[in-house]
Amino acid sequence: MASISPDAVPRIARLYRFQWEPAQGAFVLLFPEGMVKLNEAAGEILRRCNDRDTAAEIVADLEQAFDSDDLTADVQAFLAEATDSGWVEWRTAGAHP
């Protein structure tokens, strides 16, 4: 995905299950062939991919939660990689899930 529209709505791809894994002490993505252990930043971004909030709303929430400014480029870069990896699916805001 070359660029992510701020109005696009991400969700965890249907093949994956996102959850906190106490044994790993981290968020993980489970899938039929295994598991991906996520670092803290990836976990915080993916836990907001709820099929309701737009990419812009996710960035705003992260900036507020971590008292930071201008996380747009970093969040978009991660979401682009997550999309290329098949972890995230997208829909247009206003379209029914």
Q: State the alpha helices, DSSP H only, in the chain.
A: 40-46, 55-65, 72-84
89 SS3 class: strand
Residue 48: per-residue pLDDT: 98
Q: Quote the CA–CA distance of 91 and 25 in Å, as a whole number.
A: 31
The HSE-up count of residue 27 (CA atoms within 13 Å, CB side) is 16
pLDDT string in tens for the chain (97-residue length): 457 888 999 999 999 999 999 999 999 999 999 999 999 999 999 999 999 999 999 999 999 999 999 999 999 999 999 999 999 999 987 766 6
Residue 3: per-residue pLDDT: 77
Residue among 2, 81, 11, 6 at smallest CA distance from 52 = 11
Tell me, what amino acid is at 11? Answer: R
Q: What is the CATH number of domain 8-85?
A: 3.90.930
